[in-house]
Amino acid sequence: MRISTITNWAYATTVVLTLISGGAFIMAVRSADLERDAATTAWKLDETVEQLQSAAEKTTEDARLYVIKGEERYLNAFRAVDAVEREREQSVKRLVISNLTDQERTALQTVEADAEVLDAIEEQAVKDFAAGKQDVGRAAVFSPEHEEAQTDLMASVAHFTDLVDARGQEDLRSAKEKADLWGAIAKSLLAITALVFLSVLYFVLKRRVARPLHQMSGVVRRLAKQDYTVELLADGRRDEIGDMNDAIQIFRDNGLERDRLDAERRKDQQIKDLILQLMHRLQGCQDEAELAPVVARYAVQIFPELRGHLFVMNEGRTVLSAAGTWGAPRRSTTEFPSIQCWGLRRGRPHLSEVEHGDVPCQHLDETTKDGSLCMPLAAHGDTVGMLYFEGPDGGLELIAARVYIELIAENLGLAIANLQLRDRLANLAVKDPLTGLLNRRSLDENLNRLRREATDLPAALMMIDIDHFKHFNDDFGHDAGDFVMSQVAAIMMDVAGNHWAVHRFGGEEFAIVMLGTDQKEARSLAERLRSGIERAPITYLGRPLGTVTVSIGVASTQDGQPSTNLMQRADASLLRAKAGGRNVVITDWTTGDVERPAV
């Protein structure tokens, strides 16, 4: 109940009780007045009746004195007392006539009748005495009839007095009881009014107002300090204090919501800052090998609750392999055919939620309950890889992070595509498209670098020519000749490995730049290359092409030989090998006849 309602009810109750108690006091006062009136009436009645008795005796005495002595003064006294007696009788009637009972009225009539009889005897006696009948008048006032009439009058007066006294005492007692009753009622109502007033003061002011306000003041102080963890009053009251508490609750909820939104904004800004840093790092990467560590490092910072892989598509666009990993994911394999991923099939993000009934990808372990998200990486209309994330709670974290993952995937796919495009352009610029070897331009750059960066380490250059290459073109076709050239290039890559740079010089001629290689090692490598090509069986479309041999010329910077004419010296050695019968290795530090390989 609202405080205003309680206050109004308390006010109305107090007013009603005050009015009732006031009425009770008025009734008590009136009862006291009635009690006093009854006492006064009884006193006056007693006095008047007593005076009436005295007057009756006085008239009798004056009448007797008059008839005995005959003096006029006794007659006058008789007349005066008789008038007073008449007046007293009227006074008695006026005092009691308003509320006489039947018995009292009968007794009063008896008194009047007895008084008339006595007055008649005395009046007649006085008249007789005044008429000269002294003996008759004396006899009348001393006769038995006069004595009987006087006795009857005194008796009737006493009887009437007893009746009136009894009734007066009863009225006095009744008035006193009413006065006492109304006084008690008035006092009780006054006490109840005071109790109600004090109860309202205690209940409303202390319990319903003062105590909650004291508690709310502490809450408001803490809210003013932006401490929104404070607990509010939980009594569910529906009054003004409850309205204030509801308003404070709304303020607290708004504060908590603002804190939550601020935290989300800060988190969102932090994530965006990290994503921006990741984008900057991606733009600075020179090749695909640098991408995976960068993505893994920032993925852990951006999504600390998630694990995942960065998958890169092979050149045939058939298989994805994990190029980077973070957080030790458990559900996906590290290499799988692209057809096994629903995200790659649809070209859209795919959330595999086991508990929610979505179709899981085939490259996932279905026994693991973690949610997983496959985000294809595409750019320039081509799919280049996939971002894979998995997390707890059936994918709730993935749903919350999906927008950020899509933003990263968009930029990451573009970065991978640009690097691949740059690699392809670089390969076209420095590699031969037929054999995959470095081209003539790359050879010139390596030799120029060798000339510029002269060191104490020896270097060697190997010039290679396929013997009788025109024979393969003429007898088997140009496609077979290209195949022979690519097979020779593959053998040279296997022998040289990653230590030396293998180039296609032009036509069927090749060159190998060997940095940090002395003469002995260079010749050994050349001999191994020559013998390996000679022993390799080459078949094109199921048709043997015969033995393929090469002539090799080698030049070295060892023994003080300059690097500026290294190619001329190696080319001269190659010409000597071809002139000497081919399928041989000639070095610029050998003299005499050409050394034929042992058969």
In degrees and rounded to multiples of 5, residue 543 shows phi and psi of -115, 120
The H-or-E segment that residue 540 falls in is strand 539-540
Judged on CB neighbours under 10 Å (0-12, 13-18, 19+), 143 is middle
Active-site residue, selected from the candidate residues 85, 353, 390, 508: 508
The vertex-455 CA angle with 454 and 457, nearest 5°, equals: 130
508 is annotated as an active-site residue: yes
Distance CA(409)–CA(411), nearest Å, equals 5
Find where tokens 């060997």 sit. 514
Distance CA(239)–CA(518), nearest Å, equals 101
Q: Which of 198, 173, 188 is nearest to 24 (CA)?
A: 188
Residues with Cβ within 8 Å of residue 446, at least 6 apart in sequence? 438, 501, 503, 513
Distance CA(126)–CA(119), nearest Å, equals 10
Where do the DSSP E strands lie in 356-486? 371-379, 382-391, 459-466
311 neighbors 386 (Cβ within 8 angstroms): yes
460 neighbors 519 (Cβ within 8 angstroms): yes
33 neighbors 152 (Cβ within 8 angstroms): no
Query: Between helices 566-579 and 440-452, what is the axis angle to 10°?
Result: 130
Residues labelled as active-site residues:
508
